[in-house]
Amino acid sequence: MSSRGIAVVTGASSGIGAATARQLAAEGFEVICAARRADRIAALAEEIGGRALACDVTADADVDALVAAVGPELAVLVNNAGGAFGQEPVAAADEDAWRRMYEVNVIGTEKVTRALLPALVAARGAIVFVTSVAADGPYEGGAGYCGAKAAERMIAGTLRLEFFDQPVRITEICPGMVATEEFSLTRFGGDQSRADAVYADVPGPLSAEDVAEAITWMATRPAHVNIDRLTIRPVAQPAQHKVFRGSYA
């Protein structure tokens, strides 16, 4: 085992998850890359000297396998698995998409966190919940995703209160506009033109590496320091609903 111990990153097959796995490995953690797409995480684990574990966070058997892989102590858990599916208005809501968002972002996060709490306590570890600025408030077409991320935020905040007498740091990072290869493409069902329009003419949206760097910093603070919540946005996005498109003079 590495000098820093074991770190688990869920949703590690792409985007913020993959970038976080790389950065945690560079900081000396043995990283368990957990995601559904086994081929992607196998390649990532080989690249960073970590371990790959095919894991659907909504499946009890997969979460049990993750617990077994971790063993008695876990230094860092990054709850990154999640996603947005669709952007229909409430009047035309896709219930299956909403259900999927709650299952992955909320129930899956709860399953993994609850299952790994004993190992985190044993290691005096840290949990980083990757939520979103969508948890801050509503926007048109975002009711399902905003609701799911707000619920995930409540897991982090409530657990921090319930674990006030335990040596576990419970943190939350809230990214704004991050240009990754899959987030918007997944949201719009593979419609590349709609996905590209999200970032069109935005000067300098965040990268997955920007967010991963912040997550790694949060997870490696001294044992007595807790970063309750960190919001990270590009300069071009001063608020969730306000984005500059163009070029700076």
Active site members: 145
* Alpha carbon separation from 44 to 130, 146, 187 (Å, rounded): 20, 30, 24
What does the alpha-carbon distance between residue 182 and residue 65 come to, in Å, rounded to a whole number? 26
Helix, strand, coil tally for the chain in percent (to 5):
45, 15, 40
Q: Rounded to the nearest 5°, which phi and psi values hold at 138? A: -80, 160
3-state secondary structure of 149: helix
* Alpha carbon separation from 125 to 6, 98, 168 (Å, rounded): 10, 32, 5
Token output for 160: 């921090």
* Alpha carbon separation from 84 to 54, 131, 199, 237 (Å, rounded): 21, 11, 16, 19
Residue 156: in which H helix or E strand, if any? helix 143-162
